[in-house]
């Protein structure tokens, strides 16, 4: 491989990118647009769940329970209902996800020291939100019930009994448990995978469609020189995208970077090489810009979004899908990004993921070079 030939091809491809505004928009503007859209729209936090209350008791005890809900950041009290019909109407209109029904004898039964049942109606059409909201509601009611019992014991004995068990939770890494801190690093992996493969999927196919491949074939260029030269400009675009994404994550979404910045950049370059090589391989096989671009989107977007562990936990997937995720490079890069961003770990922990990305990039590049033929078929 001669460096001068690689530089000549890289210069030619760079000039094409500069002169083609569509390539620049796809390479720079679209990744930032996706990052902002997903960063703001995609969240796994369940806060301010709309709540409607039917308080049939209307006593200080029932109002205290209601205040526990309205004072929590997990619920937002929307209205007070007067019957089940109003509750049904609120849930059907999505004005409420949870309805709390307090019975008539709530205050009297509590004062007598007897057990009382409070009904929680949950909209199960969104099962994930419903499950989390129901857990919040059960915790608030359980805490309120414990406080009532302790107050009754204090009045009878003059002392407050000490609970036999005391749990003291401590959250490591993402201490405030903000889902955005885990989503944004994962987004960087997904966006880099999709954009990198999409951009390079057009390169070789464009040469065939425009008729310039015949000129390249007539030169002394080898397949490895042509492919490497065409990768260089998009490698630069990928680095710019990475830096911009990191800056947006830090200063717009306030995602902390705990680990080593240089290790993160090094791992990103390895991942970027594999993603660009995959797009190049697709372009070589497709020989058509439309076919190559569509196949690149299918081969990168869906696997990177669904099977990388970015949104959906891999452990919850069916067994055959869990096996499939082992060949998805975005899975390993998501793990690397979250490990460096949130945990601050190094290669002593992430060496397996790093090794897979390096092997993947090398294998795809090798196959791309072997598949490229300097002849017109």
The three state secondary structure string of 274-308 is HHHHHHHHHHHHHCCHHHHHHHHHHHHHHHHHHCC
Determine the pLDDT at residue 353. Answer: 93
Q: Greater confidence, 339 or 15?
A: 339
Handedness of CA 10, 273, 190, 318 (dihedral sign): positive
Give me the mean pLDDT over the 167-194 stretch: 82
Handedness of CA 126, 131, 136, 141 (dihedral sign): positive
In this structure, how many other beta carbons lie within 10 angstroms of the beta carbon of residue 246? 20
Looking at the predicted structure, is the pLDDT value of residue 44 above 60?
A: yes
Share of the chain above pLDDT 70, in %: 96
Q: What is the pLDDT of residues 69-103, one digit of tens each?
A: 988 888 999 999 989 999 999 999 889 999 999 99
Instruction: Estimate the crossing angle of helix 261-286 against helix 347-371, to 10 degrees.
Output: 20
Looking at the predicted structure, is the pLDDT value of residue 271 above 90?
A: yes
Looking at the predicted structure, is the pLDDT value of residue 377 above 60?
A: no
Whether 101 and 37 have beta carbons less than 8 Å apart is answered as no
Domains and CATH numbers, the chain: 3-43+178-371 (no CATH), 49-157 (3.40.1710.10)
Which has the closest alpha carbon to 281: 200, 179, 212, 160?
200
Determine the pLDDT at residue 202. Answer: 78
Helix (H) or strand (E) holding 270: helix 261-286
Q: What is the pLDDT of residues 212-260, one digit of tens each?
A: 766 776 777 777 888 888 888 888 888 888 888 889 888 888 888 888 9
Q: What is the pLDDT of residues 199-219, one digit of tens each?
A: 888 787 777 777 776 677 677
């Amino acid at each position: 491989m001669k460096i001068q030939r690689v530089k000549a091809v890289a210069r030619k491809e760079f000039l094409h990118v500069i002169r083609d505004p569509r390539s620049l928009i796809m390479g720079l503007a679209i990744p930032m647009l996706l990052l902002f859209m997903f960063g703001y729209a995609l969240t796994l936090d369940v806060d301010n769940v709309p709540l409607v209350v039917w308080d049939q008791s209307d006593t200080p005890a029932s109002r205290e329970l209601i205040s526990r809900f309205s004072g929590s950041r997990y619920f937002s009290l929307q209205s007070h209902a007067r019957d089940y019909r109003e509750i049904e109407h609120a849930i059907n209109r999505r004005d409420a996800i949870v309805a709390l029904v307090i019975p008539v004898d709530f205050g009297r039964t509590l004062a007598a020291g007897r057990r009382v049942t409070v009904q929680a109606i949950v909209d199960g059409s969104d099962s994930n939100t419903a499950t989390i909201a129901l857990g919040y509601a059960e915790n608030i009611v359980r805490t309120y019930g414990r406080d009532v019992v302790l107050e009754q014991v204090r009045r009878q004995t003059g002392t407050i009994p000490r609970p036999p068990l005391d749990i003291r939770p401590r959250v490591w890494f993402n201490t405030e448990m903000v889902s955005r801190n885990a989503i944004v690093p994962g987004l960087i992996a997904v966006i880099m995978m999709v954009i990198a493969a999409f951009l390079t999927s057009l390169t070789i196919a464009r040469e065939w469609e425009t008729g310039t491949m015949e000129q390249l074939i007539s030169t002394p260029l080898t397949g490895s020189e042509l492919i490497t030269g065409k990768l260089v400009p998009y490698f630069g675009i990928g680095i710019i995208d990475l830096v911009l994404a990191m800056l947006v994550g830090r200063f717009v979404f306030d995602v902390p970077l705990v680990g080593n910045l240089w290790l993160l950049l090094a791992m990103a370059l390895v991942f970027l090489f594999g993603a660009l090589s995959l797009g190049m391989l697709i372009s070589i096989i497709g020989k058509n810009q439309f076919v190559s671009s569509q196949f690149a989107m299918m081969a990168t977007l869906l696997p990177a979004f669904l099977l990388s562990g970015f949104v959906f936990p891999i452990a919850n997937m069916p067994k055959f899908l869990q096996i499939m995720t082992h060949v998805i490079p975005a899975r390993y890069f998501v793990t690397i990004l979250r490990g460096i961003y949130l945990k601050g770990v190094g290669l002593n922990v992430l060496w397996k993921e790093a090794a897979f990305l390096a092997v993947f990039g090398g294998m795809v590049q090798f196959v791309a070079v072997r598949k490229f033929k300097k002849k017109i078929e």
